[in-house]
Amino acid sequence: MHSVALLIGLWSVASLLWTANPTGRLPRQQAGGNTAATTSSRRRLGLPSELEIYCACIGAGMTSAAAAGAVAEVSDTHAANPWRLLHSLLELGVEPGGCWQQFATSQGLHTLAQLVETQTIIGARIETQLRAIAQELRATAADECIAQAERAGVMIAIPLGLCFLPAFIVLGLVPVVFSLAGGLL
């Protein structure tokens, strides 16, 4: 009687696993991983630091072009491209508002473009506002990392629940019910 319950349990678990992946193969992940997601997450985490470096350069009295060039030198290769472009355009004498608008659009920072455009018109210092933008970006990146960790926890719990719950029912409850039913008959 117990062997029949065990076979039924094993068959149900096997059929559950087979329907989840009918090929029988485990999905393969490429060695490089998801490079677009990796680059974007690295970019999200690096941009606040780059803005703070830019603030420090501006606070030290460097021009916008020189500060953008300094940030381009210390940034990694993927992050340095927008800063290099900004540096080159500012060095060529292109209107700062247009340069920053293009930079901010490529980075998704429209408030930054508005801030720098206001600074070029009025001539006000913008270090405090840039640091506030950097803090906001850092907080957003931290929230996204926490959300990804929570999603990973859920994704880990789903297979465990799908495997252990049927196994508990088949191997734990069914034999007890059969033994009680056998005692009554």
For 64-111, write each residue's pLDDT tens digit: 889 889 988 888 766 668 888 888 888 888 887 778 877 777 666 777
- The whole-number pLDDT of residue 11 equals 63
Mean pLDDT along residues 29-46 = 52
What is the pTM (predicted TM-score) of this model? 0.60
3-class DSSP state for residue 54? helix
| Contacts of 83 by beta carbon, 8 Å cutoff, 6+ apart | 50, 68, 69, 71, 72, 75, 103
For 47-69, write each residue's pLDDT tens digit: 888 888 988 998 888 888 898 89
Phi, psi of 25 (to 5 degrees): -105, 150
For 132-156, write each residue's pLDDT tens digit: 888 988 898 889 889 999 999 888 8
